[in-house]
């Protein structure tokens, strides 16, 4: 009886995966610094970092999935997992706040940044900007539709409709992939290049990081789809899917702010490409 479990908490077994992820993240960021400065060994270090991050994600998340299937994610554990996901999304919000802050600083005070933007916004040297009501509007509609389909999948799961869950996930993943292809096409035909000036740098960094988040969210949902076909998730225990849905809605909301701020307001008065 001394070893009997009389609480709802889950005591984690020793794991090497958090250490692996820490080392991999350090290697990846170091590789990025070397790459940006065009230093020797950048490709090797960056490649090792990317491989380590992918391996760490797979191994660590596999352990978490096994815990969930073993019944270790009790209601109180799920509550704390939700707190962790909320904190993570809040940190992501602040990450994008930094890019919006830079954008507003450049756009609202161009007269104080004559040497940087030429006293006007869009800055001197930008002959044309992306038409917000062409591909960006199309991508906005795609993401809004994907938010609807992932909500449909969530409600289907809660009400025990496994086919509705699968269909909603498939549609959301397809829409996420289409969004990424449209954005890649937009980048390939952009009238300005990355690093040419503050406008192009802020544009590509803000929208590019969002595109990366769409890619991560699509992979997140694909893992949920694979787990769905494996028989995982029940109406009472499906935090893995719930976290993916929260992340996807976060991606949707950020894009709406990017569309209004960067595409519509940020290029107001300039010629459209």
pLDDT at residue 67 in the model: 86
Domain assignments of the chain as residue spans, ordered by start = 15-72, 74-265
Q: Kindly indicate the confidence band of residue 5, based on its pLDDT and cuts at 50, 70 and 90.
A: low
pLDDT at residue 123 in the model: 77
Please indicate whether residue 4 or residue 191 has the higher confidence score (pLDDT): 191
Percent of the chain at pLDDT > 90 equals 59
Residue 116 pLDDT greater than 70, yes or no = no
Same CATH topology for 15-72 and 74-265: the answer is: no
Least confident range of 13-17, 152-156, 179-183, 244-248: 13-17
**What torsion, rounded to 10 degrees, do the Cα atoms 173, 176, 178, 181 define?**
-130
Q: Identify how many contiguous H helices and E strands the chain contains and give both numbers.
A: 8, 0
pLDDT at residue 248 in the model: 96
Residue 211 pLDDT greater than 90, yes or no = yes
pTM of the model: 0.88
CA distance 89 to 174: 23
Provide the angle, in degrees to the nearest 10, between the axes of the packed helices 198-229 and 75-108: 160
Which residues lie below 8 Å from residue 253, measured CB to CB, with a gap of 6+? none
Which residues are paired to 129 by β-bridges? 272
Distances (CA, A) of 83 to 163, 248, 270: 30, 17, 44
Q: Kindly indicate the confidence band of residue 197, based on its pLDDT and cuts at 50, 70 and 90.
A: confident
CA distance 135 to 132: 7
Tokens 């994907």 sit at which residue? Answer: 146
Closest to 189 measured CA to CA, from 134, 143, 262:
134
CATH superfamily of 74-265: Cytochrome c oxidase, subunit III, four-helix bundle (1.20.120.80)
CATH number, domain 15-72 = 1.10.287
Provide the angle, in degrees to the nearest 10, between the axes of the packed helices 162-188 and 198-229: 160
Over residues 10-25, mean pLDDT: 89
CA distance 203 to 128: 13
pLDDT at residue 109 in the model: 78
Residue 74 pLDDT greater than 60, yes or no = yes
Please indicate whether residue 109 or residue 227 has the higher confidence score (pLDDT): 227
Eight-class DSSP state of 111: G
What 3-state class would DSSP assign to 267?
A: coil
Which residues lie below 8 Å from residue 105, measured CB to CB, with a gap of 6+? none
Residue 105 pLDDT greater than 80, yes or no = yes
CA distance 38 to 86: 37
Please indicate whether residue 114 or residue 20 has the higher confidence score (pLDDT): 20
CB 122 within 8 A of CB 129: yes
CA distance 260 to 61: 35
CA distance 138 to 180: 12
pLDDT at residue 148 in the model: 96
Closest to 139 measured CA to CA, from 3, 48, 256, 13:
256
For 22-69, what is each residue's pLDDT tens digit?
Answer: 999 999 999 999 998 888 889 999 999 999 999 998 999 899 888 888
Least confident range of 2-16, 132-146, 254-268: 2-16
């Amino acid at each position: 009886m001394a070893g009997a479990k009389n609480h709802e908490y889950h005591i984690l077994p020793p794991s090497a995966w958090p250490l692996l992820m820490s080392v991999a993240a350090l290697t990846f960021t170091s590789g990025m610094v070397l790459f940006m400065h065009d230093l020797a060994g950048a490709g090797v270090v960056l490649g090792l970092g990317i491989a380590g991050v992918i391996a760490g994600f797979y191994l660590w998340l596999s352990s978490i999935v096994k815990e969930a299937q073993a019944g270790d994610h009790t209601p109180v554990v799920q509550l704390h997992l939700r707190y962790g996901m909320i904190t993570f999304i809040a940190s992501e919000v602040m990450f994008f706040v930094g890019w919006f802050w830079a954008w507003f600083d450049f756009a609202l005070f161009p007269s104080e940044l004559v040497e940087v933007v030429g006293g006007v916004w869009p800055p001197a040297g930008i002959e044309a900007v992306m038409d917000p009501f062409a591909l960006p509007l199309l991508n906005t509609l795609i993401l809004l539709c994907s938010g609807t389909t992932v909500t449909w999948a969530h409600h289907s799961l809660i009400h025990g409709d496994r086919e509705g869950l699968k269909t909603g996930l498939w549609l959301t993943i397809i829409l996420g992939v289409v969004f990424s292809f449209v954005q890649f096409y937009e980048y390939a035909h952009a009238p300005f290049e990355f690093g040419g000036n503050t406008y192009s740098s802020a544009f590509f960094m803000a929208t590019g990081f969002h595109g990366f988040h769409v890619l991560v969210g699509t992979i997140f949902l694909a893992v949920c789809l694979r787990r769905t076909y494996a028989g995982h998730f029940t109406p009472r225990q499906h935090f893995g899917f719930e976290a993916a849905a929260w992340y996807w809605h976060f991606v949707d909301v950020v894009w709406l702010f990017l569309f209004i701020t960067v595409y519509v307001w940020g290029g107001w008065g300039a010629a459209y490409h």
